[in-house]
Structure 1
Amino acid sequence: MLFNGHVLTMEPAGAVQQAIAIRAGRILAVGSDAQIRRHVGSASQTIDLQGRTALPGLIDAHAHMEREGLKTLRPSLAHARSVGDVLNVVAQQAAIQPKGSWIITMPVGQPPFYFGGPDNLAEKRMPTREELDAVAPRHPVYIPGLFGNWGVPPGYSVLNSLALAANGMDQASCPDCTGIEVMRDEQGRATGQIIEHNKRPLLEFALLTRVPAFGFEDRLEGLRRSLPIYHAYGTTSIYEGHGSAPETIAVYRRLWEEGQLSMRTRLCVSPTWSNVKEAGEAMRDWLAFARGRGLGDPWLRISGVYIGLGGHAATATAVRKALPNTGWTGFVEWSNSIGDFEAYAWLAAEHDLRVHSVVVDRLAEVLEVFERINQSFPLHARRWVVEHVGRVSGPDIERLKRLGISVTSIPFYLLWKNGRDRLGEPDQGHAFVPQRSLLEAGLPVSAGSDNIPVSLFSAVWASVVRRERTTGQVIGPGQRLDRLQALQMVTRNGAYLSFEEHLKGTLAPGKLADIAVLSANPLSVADDGLADIHSELTLVDGRIVHRA
């Protein structure tokens, strides 16, 4: 029994309650302290919430959860304020790592965004090849640039002489490495400095192919470390519609088999096919388990496929050659024209595979494809998903409703982090990530963290204030959400994505006992306090998975 609290049930007409009774992983009752005490027996455990706010465990609709723990496997440079600080980290690693082993750090800058790169250092530059050689003469050293989704390209990388030699950098060229600058001296010799302008990094897949990739055991340990970090912000379920590569799915499966997957996980397949023929054969012969609502249990379920639109051809080709390595993404890169997209989507419909796709500003094109498919394969009950929605017109909202398409938004990423480009739009950004219009039209819009940062309260904050980071200006003032609307997106609407609205997303008798007890009341805390909320107690299946 949790009692003496401020319980937000998130039921559509649910009043604020005081207490929750849990039995065998399910909610037995929700009500006043007096009502719930009737269920307490001599063997019951009681927890005094001391007035804290409790609400359903949060559901991250676009989590990329496995990435977070991976970041802890490499030495951090977050504290570095000078080239000397960076060199000290490399020297420390050289002293403890076996001779000849690689030293690979995290990027220069402050996580989770790594904005500015070398501008964070007093010298306003990265270490040189020679400086790295001096502190680690017997180890190949690689300081990578940022993964473009974290911050804003370019990314600044540097290698020492052994690392350059291992990758053949003094001789090799890379004609397909669009967006990559390999800095060379007057004699044409690589200096060790590399600048990448691509949002999806190509460097390690096409040029630095000898840099050790994350292996299966690395990813498994990374996922283990990710779980408590996400639970610490009240997240109890994730839905990964951006797709998961075969090795990523295998990592989740291993943790599930070991009984250590404390996060309710819903994945879709990030395919490795390269053309329509391969796709048809894969869907026919290998993806029967992912048809319809998929196969799985309350902890791990796999349903549907991710079909990308757009993308970079060189990156897609290089990643397929490097499989199972997918770098930081965890999914397989794509490069699809709208024609390719439609061909794959038709095949998915024929094989009852749910389609997921990141659309940003190309929603209208995608909906045209879906409308044609809908004439032969009615989509409404299938709940296909459009993700990372950007610009959405009024007519598009009506089309989404008519087709029964599920919508996920990434408000912190699109509004705060990348909203500057939308400031000059004539409608003041009213049609950009129009969460209020979508919700008021009756669409169950959900929200995700995209792992930047991991807390869904950043998404809640961005949905309420809609401020972009460089000017503080509000994008689409009329689209700001009230607190309950923003919380709805990360609770009950997230359950709709996985056809589980009858199981989770609200606190009601019979539903799963997934609960977050918060550090502050999200309905009354100041606007800028929303992003700082964390969970002081997180329960999944009625069991404590995090306690501050």
Structure 2
Amino acid sequence: MPADLVLLSARLLDPATGGLLPHTALAARDGRIVLLGDDREARALAGPRSTVLDLRGAVIVPGLTDGHLHPVSGAERTMGVDLSGCRDLAAVRDALAGAARELPPGAWLRGWGLDPNAFGTAPLGHAALAPVLDGVPALLDLFDGHSLLASERALELAGIDGPRTFAQGSEIVCDAEGRPTGLLLEDAACECAEAAAPKPTEAQIRARTAEVLHAMAAAGLTGGHAMDGTGLDVYAALEAADALPLRLRVHPWCRPETGDDALAELIRLQGTGGALWRVTGVKLFMDGTIDNGTAWLEDPDRHGESARAFWPDPRRYTQVIAALHRAGVPTATHAIGDAAVRHVLDSVEKARAEHPSGLRHRVEHIETVPDDTVRRFAPLGVAASMQPTHCCEFTRADHTDNWSRRLGEERAGRAFRCRDLWAAGATVVLGSDWPIAPYPPLQVMAGARHRRPADLSLPPHGPEQALTGLQALRALTLNAAWVAGEEEHAGRLAVGHRADLTVLAEDPLAVADTELAGVPVVLTVVAGRVRHRGAGV
């Protein structure tokens, strides 16, 4: 039976050893690799309908998988004005003024990627933006995805005129007189403003998600672990229209207000999906972020904040982890602060003691933790899912950034301990957390290696925590497959494994870390189908 895809004159890179396999060609049929061999053997499998490509020495690696991204919510969020490149308040104001001029009368302005470091010493509130947003209803997502800045007009339309109490760790930030500053922390508070703003249509969200996913494929991604709270209908619709170019493993959310019936529904959803997307876990939040003072630290930050969990009763979180563990559902918990990470590990340890199994749980982000916590991951079999470009793009080696100033020298000095976790035996998985940080996987790998911003404008933050080239590659291939329980048919170039392939113009292990992000993506293949084809192929 002829192959569907034949790739010739290639170099095949093994992420297990870092060496090249003794083959020059690969053939795939029905979404699986059926041959690793030489060009003659591969050509013999080609039929009249086969796609046959001469790669001219390009390097094939197992398909790169982003361990943490938000395709649907990110697609919707990034429909507004991009503020991620604004480095100071003047740049933020200029971008917003330009967008405001284009608005129809009464329309809402949306923005995303706002970095609190851009405000410098000015208070983070709508007052700093009043000169350009006077009378304009505006909602601006801060880069961390856990907070909004609402203009004065947006607060008025949403009926937000003072503090409120929430069932989760959320806050409408108010001044000393009880007046909202415009800063809304965490989901429940943000939803108060979102409820008043116009929503894009389902068709618009589907179209934008398809656009984003195709761009991800062009960047070399073949898959991702989607941490969206919603969007299953979007994935289903895209696949039905043959417009889903990535393989996605989806983790719907479980929040503090999730009752027993909703928890049962999350369990029921496991394994549902289509050919390229499937529900394979549950996402939870143990805290917020250090930048907005909603992380959970063992000692408060230098503003006296980040002192509580996202779950008002952390014991309920422990009970939920136990219930999901008993049901065989792997969990991915957002835990940034040291207290949050410790509580997640405690909860997993308790669940394993009560119901022993090899279920693979994971902790997301792990931005600052002490040595004893680092050593707990491997014995518990808990994966460390990390986003090194957060460190690269939003913190600084001299600790003058907002994240570091809040933590103080000691805790800022143990930032994003990728190397220490790896050395302690933890399975480290890398991702972007897009739209928090850019999704190109080569940029993620490069950041893990050099710990500097993409433009290389600053010295490395914690260079002793850098990963090697091989470790970074494994973290987006072998380790991503392992944490998803798919190591028997994904993450390597082997006969019988999925034909999810990323083809690069150069060997990523032989390229300098400062040049890696610029290596051209020649081909992206998912389930044996070419999803992106670079120039000249």
**Whole-Å Cα distance in 1 between the matches of residues 31 and 236 of structure 2?**
22
- Specify which of 256, 268, 291 is matched with residue 289 of structure 1: 268
Distance in 2 separating the partners of 1:29 and 1:410: 34
1:62, distance to aligned residue in structure 2 (A): 0.4
Whether contact under 8 Å (1:114, 1:150) holds in the other structure is: no
Q: Is the 8 A contact 2:280 2:329 kept in 1?
A: yes
Corresponding residue of 2:449? 464
Residue 542 of structure 1 and its aligned partner are, at CA, apart by: 1.6
**Deviation for aligned residue 1:264:** 1.0
Paired position in structure 2 for 1:320: none
- Cα distance change, pair 24–113 in 1 and its aligned pair in 2 (3 A): farther
User: Residue 446 of structure 1 is aligned with which of 429, 449, 456?
Assistant: 429
Q: CA offset at residue 547 of structure 1? A: 2.4
**Which residues of 2 match residues 25-424 of structure 1 at below 5 A?**
25-41=31-47, 43-71=49-77, 73-74=79-80, 86-94=96-104, 102-107=107-112, 116=118, 126=129, 128=131, 141-149=136-144, 157-158=150-151, 166-168=157-159, 172-176=161-165, 178=171, 180=173, 195-196=182-183, 198=185, 200=186, 204-207=190-193, 209-240=195-226, 242=227, 244-245=228-229, 247-271=230-254, 274=257, 278-279=259-260, 281-284=261-264, 286-290=265-269, 294-311=271-288, 335-360=311-336, 361-362=338-339, 363-379=341-357, 381-391=358-368, 396=373, 399-414=376-391, 416-418=393-395, 420=399, 421=404, 424=409
- Equivalent residue of 2:208, what SS? helix
Q: Percentage identity across aligned positions?
A: 23
Give the whole-Å Cα distance in 2 for the aligned partners of 1:255 and 1:496: 27
Residue identity opposite 2:448 in structure 1? S
Report how far residue 310 of structure 1 moved: 3.4
Cα distance, 1:183–1:334 mapped onto 2, change above 3 Å:
closer
Provide the residue aligned with 1:475 in structure 2. Answer: 462
Structure-2 separation of matches of 1:503 and 1:11: 14
Q: Is the 8 A contact 2:395 2:461 kept in 1?
A: no
Q: State the alpha-carbon separation in 2 of the partners of residues 490 and 84 from structure 1.
A: 38
Query: Which one-letter code corresponds to 1:145 in the other structure?
Result: L
Cα distance change, pair 165–348 in 1 and its aligned pair in 2 (3 A)? closer
Change (3 A) 1:490 1:112: farther
Corresponding position of 2:299:
none
Question: What is aligned with 2:7?
Answer: 2
Deviations 1:37-59 (A, max 9, x none): 44345554322223322212111
Question: How many Å separate the matches in 2 of 1:426 and 1:305?
Answer: 29
Cα–Cα, structure 1 residues 213 and 117, in superposed 2: closer, same or farther, change >3 Å?
A: farther
Structure 1 residue 543 and structure 2 residue 529: aligned?
yes
Q: Quick one: distance in 2 between partners of 1:521 and 1:113? A: 34
- 1:439–1:272: structure 2 CA closer, same or farther, 3 Å change rule? closer
Q: Which residue is 1:515 aligned to? A: 501
Please say if residues 236 and 274 of structure 2, whose CA atoms lie closer than 8 Å, have aligned partners that are also in contact: no
Deviations 1:209-243 (A, max 9, x none): 42224454443233222211211211111113x4x
CA shift, 1:149, in A, is 0.7
Aligned Cα root-mean-square deviation (Å): 3.9
Map of 1:327 onto structure 2 = none
Q: SS at 1:382's partner residue? A: coil
1:435 maps to: 418
Note the C-alpha offset of 1:132: 5.6
C-alpha distance 15-519 of structure 1, shift in aligned 2 (>3 A)? closer
Change over 3 Å in CA distance of 1:350–1:68 after alignment to 2 = closer
How far apart, in 1, do the equivalents of 2:379 and 2:41 lie? 43
Deviations 1:365-413 (A, max 9, x none): 322222222222013x211222212345565455433332233111111
What is the CA-CA distance between 1:114 and the residue it aligns to?
8.3
Q: 1:65 to 1:301 in 2, by over 3 A?
A: same
> Structure 2-normalised TM-score?
0.77
Provide the aligned length of Structure 1 versus Structure 2. 484
Distance in 2 (alpha carbons) for counterparts of 1:210 and 1:159: 13
- List gaps (5 residues or longer) in structure 2: 1-5, 122-126, 293-308
Residue type of the alignment partner of 1:370: V
Q: What do residues 133-154 of structure 1 show as CA deviations (whole Å, max 9, x unaligned)?
A: 6xxxxxxx43333324169x8x
1:234–1:538 contact (8 Å) kept in structure 2: yes
Runs (5+) with no aligned partner, structure 1? 134-140, 316-332
Q: Would the alpha carbon gap of residues 259 and 442 (structure 1) be closer, same or farther in structure 2, given more than 3 Å must change?
A: same
Give the alignment partner of residue 525 of structure 1, picking from 494, 511, 514.
511
Aligned mates of 1:514, 1:264 — CA distance in 2: 9
Asked if 2 retains the 8 angstrom alpha-carbon contact of 1:117 and 1:145, the reply is: no
- 1:9-28 alignment runs, 5 A limit: 9-12=14-17, 15-16=20-21, 17-28=23-34
2:427 maps to a residue whose letter is P
